[in-house]
Amino acid sequence: MVKSMIKRNFALLLFAFVLIALAACGGGNNEASNESEGNSSSNEDSSEESSSEGGESYTIQAAHVVSTEATQHDMYLKFKELVEEKSDGRIEVEVYPDGQLGGEREMVENTQSGNIEITSPSVGVLANFSSALEVFDFPFIFKDIDAVYNVFDGDVGQNLLDGLEESGFVGLGFSENGWRHLSNSKGEIVTPEDAEGLKLRTMEVPMHIAFWKHIGANPTPMAFTEVFSGLSSGAVEGVENPFQLIYTGKFHEPSEYITTTGHIFDPEILIVNKDFFEGLPEEDQEILQSSADEAISHLRDLNADLDTELRKKLEDEGAIIRDLSDEEHDAWVEASIPFYEENADEVDKDMLIKLLEAAGNDKILEAIK
């Protein structure tokens, strides 16, 4: 009996020891498990912190109306390259050329509403949204490219970019379309009188329309994407555009007579939706702004000798180009002075005066002061 009790007590003791050992092992496993979970949580926090430090990934839609052959498209590709490089691929830029997302006005409206982020309309179109830009719609403001860049890169240019914020845009900088010349299908045009009655396609810009009416032409507003068919059908007989757009749009095929009037240097402004831009971290705003600055500088380099190259291509393909002498060009400037006198008060006249001063245009200044 004694032996039986000893055996039973020993068994109970052994059982208790096993339970204690198991409990100890279980506690150790739980502690290891907790440590593992703690490390996992720490890793997740570290990953989130790293992601936060790297910034959010997103895609920007950038759209324009010109052909992929145009240097403006090269500017967009450069902008895309720079943004993606500076953000280590975190920010992607999708470029939609050739009016894929609509005409200029439509794309400005879509940028304003946030349906797309970036576009670069002619100032004539953008002036419908920011009236201060109407000062650029007057003819014969600039005598050369140095005068143009003195305005774009100076106080006048910056004031005009700042004014875009009221309309829901941030102006990243002045792009360019180049010097606008007169092209038509009827014959050589030398004097303003030669343009009388010409059915001329213009942008949907009131001051452009008013100027060509003043000259005696018959201006017809038309979207850029419809110009070639309009010239081909005879709906319009002429167009006023830079060499680059005449060439890439093949406008010289139905309207082979080109007169180098250079009546307007056509700025474009690279704009971004204001709410989108201001909602970005400061680092990303700087990436977009610096990339725009560099892309615009790249465009200027591309355009430096472009008209000379395009002139040869146009003539090789049958265009008949008539250069105006200084005296003939002055006749166009003289014809525009009454237009300034009649219309200067229709825009921000103080800004127009500042623009002409920055451009060094004393002749027209004297007429409107």
Q: Please state, as a whole number, how many other Cβ atoms lie within 10 Å of the Cβ of residue 109.
A: 16
pLDDT of the residue at 23: 41
| pLDDT band with cut points at 50, 70 and 90 for residue 54 | low
Report pLDDT digits (tens) over 73-98.
999 999 999 999 999 999 999 999 99
CA–CA separation, 209 and 236 (whole Å): 14
The b/e string for 243-272 (b: 16+ C-beta within 10 A; e otherwise) is bbbbbbbebbebbbbbbbbbbbbbbbbbbb
Q: Are 17 and 25 in contact (CB under 8 A)?
A: no
Report pLDDT digits (tens) over 122-137.
998 999 999 999 999 9
Query: What is the pLDDT averaged over residues 262-290?
Result: 97
Q: Are 201 and 220 in contact (CB under 8 A)?
A: yes
Q: Which two tokens stand for residue 44?
A: 């997740």
Structure pTM?
A: 0.79
Domain edges within the chain: 57-368
CA–CA separation, 234 and 60 (whole Å): 39
Q: Please state, as a whole number, how many other Cβ atoms lie within 10 Å of the Cβ of residue 277.
A: 19
Identify which has the larger pLDDT, 137 or 13.
137
| pLDDT band with cut points at 50, 70 and 90 for residue 319 | very high
Q: How high does pLDDT run on average in the chain?
A: 88
- Is residue 247's pLDDT more than 90? yes
Q: Which residues contact 167 (CB under 8 A, 6 or more apart)?
A: 112, 129, 130
Q: Please state, as a whole number, how many other Cβ atoms lie within 10 Å of the Cβ of residue 194.
A: 18
Identify the CA nearest to 235 among candidates 244, 222, 250: 222
Q: What is the DSSP letter of 258?
A: E
pLDDT of the residue at 301: 96
Q: Please state, as a whole number, how many other Cβ atoms lie within 10 Å of the Cβ of residue 10.
A: 10
Selected from 3.40.50.1110, 3.40.190.170, 2.40.50.700, 3.30.499.10, the CATH number assigned to the domain covering 57-368 reads 3.40.190.170
Rounded to 5°, angle at Cα 350 from 345 and 351: 105
Query: What is the pLDDT averaged over residues 166-184?
Result: 97
Q: Which residues contact 293 (CB under 8 A, 6 or more apart)?
A: 172, 173
Rounded to 5°, angle at Cα 154 from 153 and 159: 105
Q: Which residue has the tokens 């018959």?
A: 218
Identify the CA nearest to 161 among candidates 171, 153, 169, 151: 171
**The one-letter amino acid at 178:** G
Residues of the chain with pLDDT > 70, as a percent, come to 85
